[in-house]
Structure 1
Amino acid sequence: MKRIASFEVNHDKLKPGMYTSRIDGDVTTYDIRMVHPNAGTYIEPAAGHTFEHLFATFARNSDFSEKIIYCGPMGCQTGFYFLVRDMEAADAIALAQRTMAFIAGYEGGIPGASRVECGNYRLHDLAGAKRLAASMIPVLAGWTEEKLVYEK
């Protein structure tokens, strides 16, 4: 089988941040890396699940709602993929920054977290999601398009 692009990234050098994972026509996949890979600290499933609900809700209610395709966790529990269509990189960075601030400060019920709305409605951790987002605010502060490239 052909090796996929995300396995070509040297995960020993990968640091938290936001990177362009791939571009497929008008769709860009961003790697929002939130913890150092293979370092022993991973995103807790309940916190990541809540983070996903809040990220998706905020992004899909933003000025860029029509450009949002997907936001979901990586299986390795070190970050999230964020897929957008026809969106400038600077706007994607700004939206990720605003989304982190929104989640870090969020108070209230978790959107889409009832039994009829969610396939694992009991697996949520709002405090953990808020800590995760808060940890990314200083990481993404001042992030630029030049920083979207993986380190070789």
Structure 2
Amino acid sequence: MKKIESFSINHDLLNPGIYISKIDKDVVTYDLRMKKPNAGRYLDNAALHTIEHLLASYLRGSSLGESVVYVGPMGCRTGFYLLLRSTITQRAVIRLVQEAFSFISKYDDEIPGGSRIECGNYLNQDLPGARVEAEEYCRIISSWTEEQLNYRR
């Protein structure tokens, strides 16, 4: 079986941040790494689920929402993948991610898509935990630059 690109990154060198994971024609996959891999502290599943709902809703509802292809959690619970059309500048992507997580860190309302009818695991949500994780990530990415988007190899 061919090794996929994300498995070729040395996860022992990977720190929280925003990275370009893959460029595939007109789609760029961003690695929104919230936790250091293999360091023993991961996103709690309920907080991760809530972040997923809020992040996807915020990004798709933003002025750049038409360029959002996919937003979803990493199975290892260390962050999210964000797939965007390549027409968005890297600076705009960083700003968008910063704004999204700032929004999540302050959010105090009903979770979008959080009802039984809308979600397959609607009881597994943790808004207070999601806010804490988003606030921590905001501090990490607050001064992120385009030069930092490349993985350390």
Q: 2:6 aligns to what SS in structure 1? A: helix
Structure 1 runs not aligned, ≥5 long: none
Deviations 1:22-60 (A, max 9, x none): 000110000000011001101111000000000001111
Shift of 1:87: 1.5
Residue 12 (structure 1) aligns with: 12
**Letter paired with 2:120:** G
Residue 139 (structure 2) aligns with: 138
Residue 89 (structure 2) aligns with: 88
**Letter paired with 1:25:** K
Structure 2 runs not aligned, ≥5 long: none
Residue 69 (structure 1) aligns with: 69
Matches of 1:141 and 1:112, distance apart in 2 = 28
Matches of 2:42 and 2:143, distance apart in 1 = 25
Matches of 1:87 and 1:52, distance apart in 2 = 21
**Letter paired with 2:21:** S
TM-score between both structures, scaled by the size of structure 1: 0.98
Q: 1:12 aligns to what SS in structure 2? A: helix
Matches of 1:80 and 1:68, distance apart in 2 = 13
Shift of 1:19: 0.2
TM-score between both structures, scaled by the size of structure 2: 0.98
Residue 121 (structure 2) aligns with: 120
Deviations 1:37-92 (A, max 9, x none): 00110111100000000000111111101001111100011110011012211111
- Give the aligned length: 152
Instruction: State yes or no: 1:39 paired with 2:39.
Output: yes
